[in-house]
Structure 1
Amino acid sequence: MQMAIYELNAAVRTELGKGASRRLRHADKVPAVLYGGEKDAVSLTLEHNKVAQAAEFEGFYSHILTLNVDGEKVEALLKDIQRHPFKPKIMHLDFQRVDANHKVHTSVPIHFINEEGAPAVKAGGVIAHHANEIEVTCLPKDLPEFIEVDVAKVELGQTLHLSDVVLPGGVSSVELAKGESHDVAVVTIDKPKGAAEESDEDAAE
């Protein structure tokens, strides 16, 4: 992937308010806010077409981004994106400053691999995804773009939980840190309905 996707030019915005934001959008600009760290929040403006291109990539939502703010490079995470209800238009962005020495708290997408070739699927099992992302904390340098979950190792009728997922080094699960009761299901390979009914009948006999 091109690193350009993760680097965007931004300008400090001095005109604030709904009217100013509306004028920006008519000029194909996106209003944004950069906050966090030990600095004050700053209102920004970005080019809509550049943001729209970047927003097509999954990594844009979980990767550390570089904002060139009037010549100064600032590392940040995208925390919120507001889209128009029906037009293909991005209305507003929220960015949070990132400090290399402080842990970030964000969600990382799950990539399920080997689904079609999984033995349990070939045996007629049906995959059910219970989660599409994992909430993590880690230092910015350790933040993964995605987390892989290998479905080939899941047996028929088995549920893979959060504690079964191998996280990259330096990355911790926010939910698991809360205790065993937060060990949520991630993916299940269900037995075919017919097979489940037959086994119930066998048990009854």
Structure 2
Amino acid sequence: MSDALNLPAETRERAGKGASRALRREGRVPAVVYGGKEEPTPIHVEEKELVRQLMTGHFMNSLVSIEIGGKKVRTIPKDVAFHPVTDRPIHADFFRLAKGAKIDVSVPVVFINEETSPGLKKGGVLNVVRHELELVCDADKIPGEIEINVEGKEVGDSIHISEVTLPEGSESAITDRDFTIATLVAPSALKKSEGDDQTGEGMEPGETAATEQGPDDDAAQEQEDKSE
């Protein structure tokens, strides 16, 4: 399970775009705690501390204990909005957890025992279809990662969710099919697949690929307004 995090916060006395912009100028990030059959609680947190916790790499899959006025509230992060130009956090949503609650999370996968895979030893390539698994977990038992064993796998083999032993308290959120997580392919098959996706495929002579435009100041402001 990912380690629980602590995040000090203060309640927001005023709502609205102007108040939120003033908080951001002071190095604070507007946020809200909702769920648990209680009214949403508008809060703000220190930007530097939020960024530090985001940099742990497991923030979105961690229990976050938010301290508001001496009272701690168990939550899990549901969304963090970022400024499209500066990439600074501009708003965060936290879901309040009731005792015994189950939650939907996306948990990264890691592959183990690659050195004992005959297919990989022969030069095969592990083609990862899903880098994360959508799980329904007990709030107190959120796994930090899911290990997938590739021991004995040959080129042409596929790894499906039915082969994966999930931790106690976790189950797949997708239950209507035995979906593929990864396949072992020959290097030549992988190169052919990559070649089909090259930019400019099917273009007429003289045409050039369009250059993606970066967001301008108006788009950045619109993103902030949507996050209030």
Structure 2-normalised TM-score? 0.76
1:189 correspondence with 2:184: yes
Are the counterparts in 2 of residues 37 and 97 from structure 1 also a CA contact under 8 Å? Answer: yes
Q: What whole-Å deviation, never above 9, does each CA across 1:48-73 have from its counterpart, x for those lacking one?
A: 00000110122211011111112111
Counterparts of 2:56 and 2:113 in 1: how far apart (Å)? 22
User: How far 1:160 sits from its partner (Å)?
Assistant: 0.4
Amino acid at match of 2:134: E
Structure 1 vs Structure 2 CA RMSD: 2.1
Are the counterparts in 1 of residues 116 and 152 from structure 2 also a CA contact under 8 Å? Answer: no
User: How far 1:39 sits from its partner (Å)?
Assistant: 0.6
3-state DSSP class of the match of 1:57?
Answer: coil
3-state DSSP class of the match of 1:152?
Answer: coil
Could you tell me the percent identity over the aligned residues?
34
User: How far 1:111 sits from its partner (Å)?
Assistant: 2.2
Give the structure with the larger helix fraction. Answer: 1
Alignment of 1:121-160 (within 5 A): 121-160=120-159
Name the structure 1 match of 2:62: 63
Counterparts of 1:18 and 1:163 in 2: how far apart (Å)? 48
Structure 1-normalised TM-score? 0.85
Name the structure 2 match of 1:108: 107
Count matched residues: 189
Are the counterparts in 2 of residues 100 and 139 from structure 1 also a CA contact under 8 Å? Answer: no
Which consecutive unaligned segments of at least 5 residues does structure 2 have? 193-228
Q: What whole-Å deviation, never above 9, does each CA across 1:2-59 have from its counterpart, x for those lacking one?
A: 95x7111011111111111111111111111110001101111000000001101222
Alignment of 1:30-69 (within 5 A): 30-69=29-68
Which consecutive unaligned segments of at least 5 residues does structure 1 have? 198-205
Counterparts of 2:115 and 2:62 in 1: how far apart (Å)? 28
Are the counterparts in 1 of residues 113 and 149 from structure 2 also a CA contact under 8 Å? Answer: yes
